[in-house]
Structure 1
Amino acid sequence: MAKGFRRFACAALVALLAACGSAPVGPGFYRVERGDTVSKIARSNRQSVSNIVRWNNLPNPDSIEVGQVLRVAPPGGSSASAQRTAPRQDTADSASTAAAPASSISLIWPTTGQVVRNFDGRDSKGIDMVNSAGTPIVAAAPGTVVYAGNGLRGYGNLLIIKHDSEYLTAYAHNQALLVKEGETVTQGQKIAEMGSSDSDRVMLHFELRYQGRSIDPARDLPPR
């Protein structure tokens, strides 16, 4: 069971954090490399930018991530030639229609403290909150712990919770982890204590991922 969850956690890390990897991808897909842009990928695969944006539900075609896997061929049942010759659409319009997830998740704030950095989708993939060391960190929603450790550089002591087939949350820089991989947690359950592991200050870095893409947690958090 432990080995099974370890393998599942590794897969969750790839999906959640878009870590750079070299695992092969299937036909019709492409793994983003450093220096890639949507325009470059589209040209290389003889597709339009609007097709790449639409097939991958990209909220912002200018902020793809190294390691992200993109569909570069029409989904099954589509005509490749028709897709390639389709009129180009305005990229901004295409991105805006794909920005909102098809579903939502009800979150609570994972800790107390001052928000010092908000999500912007480029330099910040989540929310940073500061408080004193040992401040309780709670699960923002019910789910299963799929990763608990410090093996990902830049995140310190990290927890990842899988909530359903679409949503994951991550809690980074903790001084103590209070739950283990494979453990089921309830919303509001204390799961960690705030710390400064792999950080220059005591803080919580909190991320929300939808189908592997970082999205703004504020859209699903209650007003403060």
Structure 2
Amino acid sequence: MSFFRRANALFFIFIVNISLSSCSSRDTPAPVTNIHSTSVLTEHNRNSIQSSQYFVKKGETLYSIAWRSNSDVRKIAQLNNISAPYNIYPGQKLFLTEHKVKRTAKASKNKAQHKKQTKSSTVSRKNRTKNSLASTKKQAYGENVNSKKSRQNSVLTADKSTSNFSQKISRWQWPVKGKVVEYFSNSTQGNKGIDIVGRRGTKIRSSAQGKVVYAGDALRGYGKLIIIKHNDDYLSAYAHNDRILVKEKQQINRGDVISTMGDTDANKVMLHFEIRFRGKSVNPLNYLPKNQ
């Protein structure tokens, strides 16, 4: 009898251990899987430029480079002595920030000679006649009348040619109707625009009048991208398109169809929409109407 009692006791202990082990395993949480790890592309993933200089690649424009470096295109153009319409070529070296030119011994020598010549010319100018002094009062030193008139004419021409881009944007419109799933963020790695989901092939429209300054797929993370210049201060961008229906340098009006919605370089069909003011990202919802 004692043998059977001992056997029953051991069997009971075995059953209790199994039950406790089962309960313990059920209380252990399952491994966590981040299903959103690739849902949002940060500015770093969108191949932003962080360096102080850059070599132009095929298919890029000065506007697309300014976009990636979060800079004003006019600033980059000024740093590199590039005039409108800002033509660049593959392999060209661009400075994206202020740079200092190294002074050589020869440059220092030339500077010393220049100071000496300046001193001599200053002494000689004191010996000028009264007539020459009178003439300088009527006419700015180092400038002739013809060059002054020509410069005034060139300024008037430039103002006339750029008048279309100096006007204030009267009204913005939504590029497409749909649910906003990602909002603007001011953080360094945050979303620099808004993401609107929809169906593939849905028409995307320009938010305001302007000129297409980039249309292509050379910017990683944006897919097929369109950048529109609205005036000297504002740009807008439309990313992840399925089809691009406009060309660079094309003039467009607010509401014109420019592309169709897609998922190029994205994990779902959507439009990534941005607005830049003087090269800096701003919240599109501060400009778009409250109602779509």
TM-score after normalising by structure 2: 0.46
- How far apart are 1:112 and its partner, in Å? 1.0
Distance of aligned partners of 1:105 and 1:117 in 2 relative to their CA distance in 1, 3 Å threshold: farther
Q: How many Å separate the matches in 1 of 2:202 and 2:69?
A: 28
Q: How many Å separate the matches in 1 of 2:216 and 2:260?
A: 14
| Secondary structure of 1:161's aligned partner | strand
Could you tell me which runs of 5 or more consecutive residues in structure 2 were left unpaired when the two chains were aligned: 1-56, 77-92, 101-167
- How far apart are 1:121 and its partner, in Å? 2.1
| Secondary structure of 2:63's aligned partner | helix
Residue equivalent to 2:133 = none
Residue equivalent to 2:94 = 23
CA deviation digits over 1:170-213, x for unaligned, max 9? Answer: 00000000000010010000000000000010000000000000
Residue equivalent to 2:148 = none
Q: Does 1:191 align with 2:275?
A: no
Tell me which of 167, 182, 205 is aligned to 1:117. Answer: 182
Of stretches 14-23 and 152-161 in structure 1, the one that deviates more from structure 2 is: 14-23
Q: How many Å separate the matches in 2 of 1:190 and 1:23?
A: 34
| Secondary structure of 1:187's aligned partner | coil
Distance of aligned partners of 1:104 and 1:218 in 2 relative to their CA distance in 1, 3 Å threshold: farther
CA deviation digits over 1:125-167, x for unaligned, max 9? Answer: 0000000000110000000000000000000000000000010
- How far apart are 1:106 and its partner, in Å? 2.6
Q: Does 1:107 align with 2:172?
A: yes
- How far apart are 1:11 and its partner, in Å? 1.4
Q: How many Å separate the matches in 2 of 1:105 and 1:172?
A: 24
Q: Does 1:11 align with 2:84?
A: no
Q: Does 1:207 align with 2:274?
A: yes
CA contact (8 A) 1:136 1:190 kept: yes
- How far apart are 1:16 and its partner, in Å? 2.4
Distance of aligned partners of 1:105 and 1:167 in 2 relative to their CA distance in 1, 3 Å threshold: farther
Q: How many Å separate the matches in 2 of 1:216 and 1:19?
A: 14
Q: How many Å separate the matches in 2 of 1:110 and 1:161?
A: 12
Alignment of structure 1 residues 127-146 onto 2, 5 Å: 127-146=194-213
Q: What is the RMSD computed on CA atoms of the aligned residues? A: 2.7
| Secondary structure of 2:94's aligned partner | coil
| Secondary structure of 2:285's aligned partner | helix
- How far apart are 1:26 and its partner, in Å? 3.2
Could you tell me which runs of 5 or more consecutive residues in structure 1 were left unpaired when the two chains were aligned: 1-5, 29-102
| Secondary structure of 1:218's aligned partner | helix
- How far apart are 1:18 and its partner, in Å? 1.7
Residue equivalent to 1:181 = 248
Identify the structure with bigger relative contact order (alpha carbons < 8 Å, sequence gap 6+). Answer: 1
Distance of aligned partners of 1:130 and 1:179 in 2 relative to their CA distance in 1, 3 Å threshold: same
Alignment of structure 1 residues 42-191 onto 2, 5 Å: 106-122=171-187, 123-191=190-258
Which structure: greater helix fraction? 2
Letter of the 1:217 counterpart? P
Taking every aligned residue pair, what percent have the same amino acid on both sides?
42
- How far apart are 1:19 and its partner, in Å? 6.4
Which structure: greater strand fraction? 1
CA deviation digits over 1:18-57, x for unaligned, max 9? Answer: 26997333358xxxxxxxxxxxxxxxxxxxxxxxxxxxxx
